[in-house]
Amino acid sequence: MEPERIGFEKKVLEIMGSRKRSKLAEKSWNESKKMWHIAGPAILTAVSQFSIGFVTAAFVGHLGQVELAAISVVQNVIEGFIYGVMLGMGSALETLCGQAVGAGQINMLGVYLQRSWIITGVTALLLTPLYVYASPILKLLHQSNNISELAGRYSTWVIPQLFALAFNFPIQKFFQSQGRVWVMTIISIVVLAFHVLLNWVLVTKLGHGMAGAAIAANISWWLIVLAQIVYVVSGYFPDAWTGFSLSAFHHLAAFVKLSLASAIMLCLELWYYTAVILLVGSLKNPDIAVDAVSICMNLQQWTLMIALGFNAAVSVRVSNELGAKHPRAAKFSVVVAVTTSALFGILFTAAILATKSDFPQLFTEKPVVIRETSKLAYLLAATILLSNIQPVLHGVAVGAGWQSLMAFINIGCYYIFGLPVGALLGYKFDFGVQGIWSGMLVGSLLQTVILLFILFRANWDKEALQAEQRVQTWGGPSEPQANG
């Protein structure tokens, strides 16, 4: 009788285990569908918008070696700096809008959007001198004179893009928080196709060179922004957008505080790559070194757009679930997003290693640049793998409102550890570009490990309570009356 009882209990345990696995699989599938509903179009949008700069660099790269280096320095140093500030300032909207949607306070979103526009517009105005004085700034940062002069001219031509970014990022967060992302995806894809045609006409056929590339980029970015604004004000968001309101000027101090924390967090991340470009620019043969690193970073940042789609998705999912007081659902969203994005990282890593001698030819025909770029393939592959995990962790931080903590982590891992190690390897031990990139990679790895530890130890019930307090403090119950 005893063996029969043991066999029966074993069978019961097997059935219970099977049901648990089935329930977990169903839960994972449902969460994955919610994630992809946001991540899919967000990835297409990010890839399309990033590809505007990618296409510009590809067309200019065939004009000459110095032209490619100049536009790469502008994109990675000047525009990289600005991109970080604007995206960071707009990311405050990601936290607040996502948690407001989870709490059911849709009416606050339009006012939040207008507040963010005010803040990013003023910020763009304050940052304009960086474009105007790009040439002396780059020389001060020890970049070569010929690259700095050409980069300075190009930088003044693309000032309109600065103000386009000021409007673009807040409106994207407005769309994403409500799961309405396909419209900006369609707009971005259509504009990208137009951008390729415009570059071919202005740069290749008419021979306007870098000036033609700048004009094409300005037109493309403003087409994206204007199309999105028209969609918002045309009545497609009856609950979230009820028109322009003076309420947008209320609670600005608290909004600026969160915006600055978001900007600092993200800027410290993006400036890390800018600092690497600057370190490389001080090596021997800077034209070749900058070209090689810029090509690798263009590819790394292109694959990063996939991870940024999951960044947006997990940020929305976490903020929505915390706003709705569902801490366990928020935690599960993190697991699904990190796992999925890491799988994409493995795929891209394999692709880079398989084409290490071929991918540089997308940007240049110079054998010496192709050879130097190919030497960085293994470091690039490792960076791509890591950068498909990091942005998802950052998305969790934004969704939960941990921007200030992230800023301190970035300072420690990148600027106190990563960059000094890179400079030591690159200059002191004479490993050049590979040494500088290795230092960057080590700093990124340290940051990822710390973030995973923090996520593992996080108290999600406490985060849900803080989300409720945040919605009340930075908008609160008075918002519907003000908007009405």
- Burial grade of 206 (CB within 10 A; 0-12, 13-18, 19 or more): exposed
Residue pair 389/303 in contact (Cβ under 8 Å)? The answer is no
Is the pLDDT at 4 greater than 60? The verdict is no
Radius of gyration of the chain measured on its C-alpha atoms: 24
Domain boundaries, the chain: 37-483
Tokens of 367: 């054998």
Q: Which of 26, 3, 37, 131 is nearest to 78 (CA)?
A: 131
What is the arithmetic mean of pLDDT over 451-461? 81
**323 has a pLDDT exceeding 50:** yes
pLDDT at 235 over 90: no
- The arithmetic mean of pLDDT across residues 340-367, rounded, is 85
**Number of helices and strands (H, E) in the chain?**
20, 0
pLDDT bin (cut points 50, 70, 90) of residue 478 is: very low
DSSP state of 105: -
At 433, which helix (H) or strand (E)?
Answer: helix 432-457
Put simply, whether the predicted model's pTM sits higher than 0.85 gets the answer no
Q: Which long-range contacts (CB under 8 A, 24 or more apart) does 323-328 make?
A: 323/98, 323/99, 323/100, 323/101, 323/102, 323/103, 323/467, 323/468, 323/471, 324/102, 324/103, 324/104, 325/464, 325/467, 325/468, 326/464, 327/460, 327/461, 327/463, 327/464, 328/460
CB atoms within 10 A of CB 467: 30
Q: Which of 58-67, 304-313, 407-416 has the highest mean pLDDT?
A: 407-416
The residue-averaged pLDDT of 403-426 equals 86
- 74 neighbors 158 (Cβ within 8 angstroms): yes
Q: How far apart are CA 263 and CA 257, in angstroms?
A: 10
Q: Does the pLDDT value for residue 13 go beyond 60?
A: no
Scanning the structure block, which residue is given the tokens 């307090």? 469
- Residues 150-175 have pLDDT tens digits of 888 888 898 999 899 889 988 888 88
In angstroms, rounded to a whole number, what is the distance separating the alpha carbons of residues 97 and 100? Answer: 5
What's CA 253's distance to the chain center, in Å? 25
Which residue, among 130, 99, 165, has the nearest Cα to 318 in the 3D structure? 99
